[in-house]
């Protein structure tokens, strides 16, 4: 099975993409991530910090939101991560409490992160 990132299917016309309906992610756009890292540096933060969206969504949900934001229909099927030959964790969501407490802010929603990502795609 070929694995594709969300941006890859912008170029696809007829190929059917497979998205996991039970793999959760907290994917954040690069711009938001960089701003948060910069704030941590200026606050002289020490240690490890999880940086992600305010709550996780499935890869399938991510793909659906992304396709709506770019106004393109995506031909996809939904499947379980457990169908892979190589076993993978199905929960890649991050607990952001530490960074939220340090910066006294809430992480952005997955929808906002996807909107920011779409705005960064060149026309």
What CATH topology corresponds to 15-119? Rossmann fold (3.40.50)
Residue 92 has what pLDDT? 93
Which has more pLDDT, 88 or 104?
A: 104
What's the rounded Cα separation, in Å, for the pair 10 and 13?
A: 8
Q: What ranges do the domains of the chain cover? A: 15-119
**4, burial (CB in 10 Å: exposed 0-12, middle 13-18, buried 19+):** middle
Helix (H, G, I), strand (E, B) or coil at 27: coil
pTM of the model: 0.82
CB 93 within 8 A of CB 10: no
Treating both helix axes as pointing N-terminal to C-terminal, what angle do 110-119 and 59-70 enclose, rounded to 10 degrees?
40
Q: Residue 5: pLDDT band by 50, 70, 90 thresholds?
A: low
Mean pLDDT over all residues of the chain? 88
What's the rounded Cα separation, in Å, for the pair 81 and 88?
A: 7
**Mean per-residue pLDDT for 44-65?**
95
**Mean per-residue pLDDT for 72-100?**
91
pLDDT tens per residue, range 6-45: 555 555 555 777 889 999 999 999 999 999 999 999 999 9
């Amino acid at each position: 099975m070929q694995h594709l990132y969300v941006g890859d299917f912008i170029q696809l016309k007829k190929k059917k993409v497979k998205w996991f309906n039970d793999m959760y992610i907290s994917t954040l756009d690069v711009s938001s991530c960089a701003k948060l890292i910069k704030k941590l540096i200026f606050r002289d933060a020490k240690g490890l910090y999880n940086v992600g969206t305010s709550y996780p969504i499935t890869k399938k949900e991510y793909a659906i939101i992304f396709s709506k934001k770019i106004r393109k229909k995506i031909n996809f099927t939904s499947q379980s991560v457990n169908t892979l030959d190589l076993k993978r964790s199905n929960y890649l969501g991050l607990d952001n409490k530490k960074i939220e407490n340090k910066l006294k802010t809430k992480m952005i929603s997955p929808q906002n992160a996807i909107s920011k990502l779409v705005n960064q795609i060149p026309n």
